[in-house]
Chain A
Amino acid sequence: MDTNNSCGAERVDSHPMREFGDAATSAANPGTTTIHIEGPSESPTHQPGLPRGSGGEEDDELLGNDDSDKTELLAGQKKSSPFWTFEYYQTFFDVDTYQVFDRIKGSLLPIPGKNFVRLYIRSNPDLYGPFWICATLVFAIAISGNLSNFLIHLGEKTYHYVPEFRKVSIAATIIYAYAWLVPLALWGFLMWRNSKVMNIVSYSFLEIVCVYGYSLFIYIPTAVLWIIPQKAVRWILVMIALGISGSVLAMTFWPAVREDNRRIALATIGTIVLLHTLLSVGCLAYFFDAPEMDHLPTTTVAPNQTVATAK
């Protein structure tokens, strides 16, 4: 003890500042204990917790600031396998049954102010939903179109039923091209705008594919109901389906473009809704024959008779 005191006293006289701040001295003396006081390691999300009011909450949920740190961390942790292994692709199918049902429910009930990606996807985009919803939609459109044409032409004598199997491949090409190429173009466009204007919200490619895939779910019951051969009913169904899925898409992508130039933001949202409209109207026009007002056998036979007598 005496030797330690004398040593310490000597050190204090010669170098007054070094003893307190030098870690090497504490390492050199094995008997001493050092206490390290670290700064607060809480995430920055806790700090704005107090001033967050009701409007701020909505903004944060829309912008995703509350879990942006977590999403980056999780995204970095998840995709760690190289892309040529099977496990890499298994990370895209890491969903349970109730999660898929929740996401479908979220696409059917767009609540204003709630962002589909932040609320339901939460940095776990899956490929199961988009792929199988598109597959179901392809067969729903092809089969419903076939059934509807059969029911419309049922009374006609010259009509022979054909299964129209070629339309399945056409429907598959249209639906899968829409569900994958439009998100690719939109993602490229958003990345390009992000380099010019600092946007708070940015979506990964898989999240955009996910939103588009789940937003197509409303068209499956719509396609089945399009069998009803009434023009008014079909157009009302188009309006309803377009309203629901268009609003899901618009509310998802509005936070990503609203920092931008006003005109570009509105043009982006307008293009998204326009492409969606083109898809639904195009499918209705191509796969479903127009229902005629009256298809009694006499009206189809009469013109042939008049043409025969005229000749």
Chain B
Amino acid sequence: MAKAAESSGDPGTTSPRPLFAGLSDISISQDIPVEGEITIPMRSHIREFDSSTLNESVQNTIMRDLKAVGKKFMHVLYPRKSNTLLRDWDLWGPLILCVTLALMLQRSSIDSEKDGGPQFAEVFVIVWFGAVTITLNSKLLGGNISFFQSLCVLGYCILPLTVAMLVCRLVLLAEPGPINFMVRLFVVIVMFAWSIVASTAFLADSQPPNRKALAIYPVFLFYFVISWMILTFTPQ
């Protein structure tokens, strides 16, 4: 085989042989056994972490979770493109916000027979099933965000609208009139825009580039419906 290679080349010119050219000529006559160990170095770290949180006081546990929720609230209020909200997702924040919103929005028992505002269960169902539907929609369109990460982002971005609900409730304590309505309208529009900007900042990157508008429109519809419910809230 080596003779054939030499005879094919011109003896006068020195053409450099390409790298690994002779590899195809090598034949292995016997099998070479491969052996060794594969260890996962992270295992010992996780075990240490788990056992240490079992012995801490209840206050430590609660404060750690509350601090995580509070940090995410700050991320929503000042939306920057960061991955913290996506990486360590939790559903405590969305649950607190949804329950607060539903408690404030529910109609009183006086006009439960007539057509009034939504009940507590209706608000709860709209928020959670709306978030689940939007998450399914973005996953079906080909987004690479996990189910609970998306629920977490959508739930946390209700925070500006909950603040708007508190402000509207306070404004409604004053005398009713067109100025009252204008103030509420302005607050709700600003908070609605803030929610859209915050959720888009977190969710837009996970969608395929030619389907971003298709995935963002349901988020717009979702926050629009919640804003409508907040704006049309009339106390008895």
Q: Which residues from chain A sit less than 8 Å from chain B, CB to CB? A: 86, 89-90, 92-93, 95-98, 100, 128, 132, 135-136, 139, 143, 146, 160-167
Q: A90-B140, A90-B142, A128-B137 are in contact. Are A164 and B217 (CB under 8 A)?
A: no
Whether the Cβ atoms of B234 and A136 lie closer than 8 Å is no
B221 contacts the other chain (CB 8 A): yes
A117 to chain B, nearest CB (A): 21
27 A-B pairs in the complex with CB atoms less than 8 angstroms apart: A86-B139, A90-B140, A96-B211, A97-B210, A98-B210, A100-B214, A128-B137, A128-B141, A132-B137, A135-B218, A135-B221, A139-B221, A139-B224, A160-B234, A161-B234, A162-B111, A162-B115, A162-B116, A162-B234, A163-B115, A163-B117, A163-B118, A163-B233, A164-B115, A165-B115, A165-B229, A166-B115
B186 contacts the other chain (CB 8 A): no
Whether the Cβ atoms of A146 and B140 lie closer than 8 Å is no
Whether the Cβ atoms of B213 and A163 lie closer than 8 Å is no
B137 proximity list for chain A (CB < 8 A): 93, 128, 132
B45 contacts the other chain (CB 8 A): no
Whether the Cβ atoms of A162 and B114 lie closer than 8 Å is yes
A102 to chain B, nearest CB (A): 13
Option from A100, A135, A163 in Cβ contact (under 8 Å) with B232: A163
A100 proximity list for chain B (CB < 8 A): 214
Whether the Cβ atoms of B214 and A165 lie closer than 8 Å is no
A135 proximity list for chain B (CB < 8 A): 218, 221
A194–B146 CA distance with the chains assembled, in angstroms:
44
Whether the Cβ atoms of B140 and A97 lie closer than 8 Å is no
B205 contacts the other chain (CB 8 A): no
B134 to chain A, nearest CB (A): 10
B9-42 contacts to A, CB under 8 A, are none
Whether the Cβ atoms of A165 and B116 lie closer than 8 Å is yes
Task: Give the contact-size bracket for chain B.
Answer: 20 to 34
Across chains A and B, the number of contacting residue pairs, with CB separation under 8 Å, is 65
A163–B111 CA distance with the chains assembled, in angstroms:
11
A86 proximity list for chain B (CB < 8 A): 139
Closest to A166 in B: B115
Q: A100-B214, A139-B221 are in contact. Are A93 and B234 (CB under 8 A)?
A: no
Whether the Cβ atoms of A136 and B114 lie closer than 8 Å is no
B212 contacts the other chain (CB 8 A): yes
B219 to chain A, nearest CB (A): 11
Whether the Cβ atoms of B232 and A93 lie closer than 8 Å is no
Whether the Cβ atoms of A96 and B228 lie closer than 8 Å is no
B232 proximity list for chain A (CB < 8 A): 146, 161, 163
Whether the Cβ atoms of B122 and A132 lie closer than 8 Å is no
| Given A162-B117, A163-B232, 14 new contacts (CB under 8 A) | A90-B140, A93-B137, A97-B212, A97-B213, A97-B214, A100-B214, A135-B221, A139-B224, A143-B228, A161-B234, A162-B116, A163-B117, A165-B116, A167-B115
A164–B211 CA distance with the chains assembled, in angstroms:
35
Whether the Cβ atoms of B225 and A89 lie closer than 8 Å is no
A191–B135 CA distance with the chains assembled, in angstroms:
35
Whether the Cβ atoms of A139 and B225 lie closer than 8 Å is yes
A281–B117 CA distance with the chains assembled, in angstroms:
26
Q: Mark B102-114, 1 if CB is under 8 A from A, else 0.
A: 0000000001001
A184 to chain B, nearest CB (A): 22
A129–B74 CA distance with the chains assembled, in angstroms:
36
Whether the Cβ atoms of A163 and B221 lie closer than 8 Å is no
Whether the Cβ atoms of A132 and B217 lie closer than 8 Å is yes
A98 proximity list for chain B (CB < 8 A): 210
Closest to A90 in B: B140
B199-236 contacts to A, CB under 8 A, are 210-214, 217-218, 221, 224-225, 228-229, 232-234
B224 proximity list for chain A (CB < 8 A): 139
B116 proximity list for chain A (CB < 8 A): 162-165
B136-182 contacts to A, CB under 8 A, are 137, 139-142
B225 proximity list for chain A (CB < 8 A): 139
A96–B115 CA distance with the chains assembled, in angstroms:
40
B185 to chain A, nearest CB (A): 13
A165–B139 CA distance with the chains assembled, in angstroms:
30
B217 proximity list for chain A (CB < 8 A): 132
B228 proximity list for chain A (CB < 8 A): 139, 143
A19–B69 CA distance with the chains assembled, in angstroms:
86
Whether the Cβ atoms of A96 and B221 lie closer than 8 Å is no
A93 proximity list for chain B (CB < 8 A): 137, 140-142
A34–B232 CA distance with the chains assembled, in angstroms:
83
B218 proximity list for chain A (CB < 8 A): 132, 135
A161–B107 CA distance with the chains assembled, in angstroms:
13
Option from B211, B214, B229 in Cβ contact (under 8 Å) with A163: B229
Option from B118, B140, B210 in Cβ contact (under 8 Å) with A165: B118
A96 proximity list for chain B (CB < 8 A): 210-211, 214
Whether the Cβ atoms of B211 and A89 lie closer than 8 Å is no
